[in-house]
Amino acid sequence: MRVNKFGFLTVLFLGALAGVKAQDTVTMNLKECMRYAVEHSTKIRIQQADNRDAQIDRRNAILNAFTPEISGNTYAYYNFGRSIDPETNTYSLTTSFHNGYSLSAGIVLFNGFQAVNNLKITKTAQEMGITKEQQLEDQISLATMEAYCNVLYFTEMEKALQAQVATAEKALQLAQKQEGLGQKSHADVVQMQSDLAERRYQLTICSNNLNNAMITLKDVMFWPVEEPLKVDDAVAQQVPLTIQGVGTQALVAQAKRQMPSVLLAEGMMKNARLALKTARWQMLPTLSLYGGWSSSYFTYPGKAGYVPMPYFNQLKNNGGEYVQISLNIPIYDRLSKHSNISKKKNAYDRAVADYEQSLQTVEAEVRRAVADRDGTADALHQAETRAALQQEAFALNGKRFEQGLISSIEYQTASNNYLNALAEQLNARLQYFIKNSVVKYYAGTSYIEQ
């Protein structure tokens, strides 16, 4: 998945904004949020600029390897003092005008395979740039997913707390009526008032948390903070328990082959090895080929009776060509090449260590992700069962409270248990959704494509 494939999203989105009022709220699902975040990310734009630089480096490496360097030169000047006459090769005091042209070209025939290795290095660097962009897209998508799930969590909790506040208000009204009939004591009414105040306090805290979560989501997406945004709650409503059939060992092997972090470390190791080879080959002589052409024109503007040779005739007669082969043999350079080889070898050793560490890290991450997914799946199953039981218990206790069979403290305890069960159920759903998405990502499916 590349960012430019989602260019249509901006057009559609801006068109949708143009057709609605400023106070209307745009509703986006998770995939749309992730695509918007990737498309508008400044990190992606910076990486794309780096990728364009890598393309330029690749082009330069090709030109340096297969094309000569060509340069041209020209000059024109008046000489008012003593000068040598080009015709007689004697000194002259007459003012003279000189004009010359030259064209030269040169190419390195052999420089220790530096050009060939540079071709390979720039190709790997270009591939690494694409991999780095994909890694940034994955990181942004995961961060958007986590922020999106936080918004869903506090949104659903706000709905649950609003329902709890409404239930507490009805229970308080009932208790006040029962107090007037002598069925409830004043202490029960005060307890119900305290429970209502607690529910309203929790609702206020949840609303503040929802506002902060929404700001975080907008920040991750690079969405205008002042523009309203609403997220689709389909993810929170139903999270299917689907466990992929890929074994952990096969998943680890697949992740080691395709994870961007491993590919980047492998690319660094390849380039470090090529740089080391280039440094070692620099101990050999360098062979270069040069060729060129030059010509000149002169005249004495103020010399009486002087008739200069025609301009183009002089250029033809004075023209000359040359071909040169140059062999540069390194003898002693204060051990700079040996020091360079040692540094390149150390750089290669570091790159190998980084690559091995990346493999170890990916394996640990995959095994941890599988364990987290399986653990959250079990937790989700238990949370679903507990929430269903607590909902039934709360409904029964509500009827018993209306009949005066339980105290307000017992009713508040049942209400708290049900609210906690709802919170844990929702949290377990979203946690499983994220953990399962991470495992699918290690299996080769990007977050946006899931």
Residue 448 and residue 373: Cα distance in Å, rounded?
A: 19
User: What pLDDT score does 241 carry?
Assistant: 62
Q: For 299-305, what is the mean pLDDT?
A: 83
pLDDT grade for 178, boundaries at 50, 70 and 90: confident
Q: What are phi and psi of 11, to 5 degrees?
A: -65, -45
Q: For 185-212, what is the mean pLDDT?
A: 92
Q: In the predicted model, what is the mean pLDDT of the chain?
A: 89
422, 236 in Cβ contact below 8 A?
Answer: no
Contacts with 312 (C-beta within 8 Å, 6 or more apart), sequence order: none
Residue 392 and residue 251: Cα distance in Å, rounded?
A: 41
| Token pair in block for residue 101 | 């042209």
User: What pLDDT score does 245 carry?
Assistant: 60
Query: Among 286, 285, 291, which residue's Cα sits nearest to residue 106?
Result: 291
More confident residue, 242 or 391: 391
pLDDT at position 426 over 80 = yes
**Angle, nearest 10°, between helix axes 186-221 and 114-180?**
160
Lowest mean pLDDT among 32-46, 128-142, 156-170, 359-373: 156-170
Q: For 28-49, what is the mean pLDDT?
A: 96
Residue 429 and residue 446: Cα distance in Å, rounded?
A: 20
For the chain, how long is the longest CA-to-CA vector? 140
| Token pair in block for residue 402 | 């209306």
User: What pLDDT score does 179 carry?
Assistant: 83
Please write the tens of the pLDDT for every residue from 118-142.
999 999 999 999 999 999 999 999 9
Residue with tokens 């689709």: 232
pLDDT grade for 5, boundaries at 50, 70 and 90: very low
Q: For 226-254, what is the mean pLDDT?
A: 80
* Domain locations along the chain: 3-40+111-284+330-442
| Token pair in block for residue 407 | 């105290």
Distances from the Cα of 235 to the Cαs of 257, 376, 431, 434, in angstroms?
A: 31, 16, 11, 11
| Token pair in block for residue 105 | 């070209």
Residue 414 and residue 406: Cα distance in Å, rounded?
A: 11
Three-state SS at 8? helix
Residue 448 has a CB neighbour count (10 Å cut-off) of 20
Query: Among 320, 314, 274, which residue's Cα sits nearest to residue 298?
Result: 314
pLDDT at position 184 over 90 = no
Lowest mean pLDDT among 18-32, 95-109, 139-153: 18-32
Contacts with 288 (C-beta within 8 Å, 6 or more apart), sequence order: 106, 107, 108, 109, 325, 326, 327, 328
pLDDT grade for 240, boundaries at 50, 70 and 90: low
Instruction: Give the percent of the chain with pLDDT over 90.
Output: 70
Q: Across-strand partners of 26?
A: 229
Instruction: Give the percent of the chain with pLDDT over 70.
Output: 92
Q: Across-strand partners of 295?
A: 101
pLDDT at position 402 over 70 = yes
Residue 163 and residue 203: Cα distance in Å, rounded?
A: 10
Does the CA dihedral 298-302-303-305 come out positive or negative?
A: positive
Residue with tokens 């119900």: 192
3-state helix, strand, coil in the chain (%, to 5): 65, 15, 20
pLDDT at position 102 over 50 = yes
The backbone region for 113, taken as left when phi is positive above 0, alpha when psi lies in -120 to 50, beta otherwise, is: left
Whole-structure pTM value: 0.83
User: What pLDDT score does 243 carry?
Assistant: 59
Please write the tens of the pLDDT for every residue from 320-352.
999 999 999 999 888 999 999 999 999 999 999
User: What pLDDT score does 8 carry?
Assistant: 36
pLDDT at position 16 over 60 = no
Strands 26-28, 229-231: parallel, antiparallel or unpaired by DSSP?
parallel
User: What pLDDT score does 239 carry?
Assistant: 62
pLDDT grade for 364, boundaries at 50, 70 and 90: very high
Distances from the Cα of 33 to the Cαs of 1, 126, 299, 439, in angstroms?
A: 15, 29, 76, 21
User: What pLDDT score does 307 carry?
Assistant: 85
- Taking the domain 3-40+111-284+330-442, which CATH number applies? 1.20.1600.10
User: What pLDDT score does 404 carry?
Assistant: 78
Amino acid (1-letter code) at residue 328: N
pLDDT grade for 242, boundaries at 50, 70 and 90: low
pLDDT at position 14 over 80 = no
pLDDT at position 385 over 60 = yes
pLDDT grade for 3, boundaries at 50, 70 and 90: very low
| Token pair in block for residue 104 | 């030269």
Q: For 393-419, what is the mean pLDDT?
A: 86
User: What pLDDT score does 2 carry?
Assistant: 42
Exposure string (b/e) for 143-177, b if CB count within 10 Å is 16 or more?
A: bbbebbbbbbbbbbbbebbeebbebbeebbebbee
Residue 27 C-beta-side C-alpha neighbours within 13 Å? 4
Residue with tokens 């002589």: 285
Lowest mean pLDDT among 64-68, 85-89, 415-419: 85-89
Please write the tens of the pLDDT for every residue from 277-291.
999 999 999 999 999
Residue 197 and residue 167: Cα distance in Å, rounded?
A: 12
Lowest mean pLDDT among 68-72, 89-93, 208-212, 418-422: 89-93
pLDDT at position 17 over 80 = no
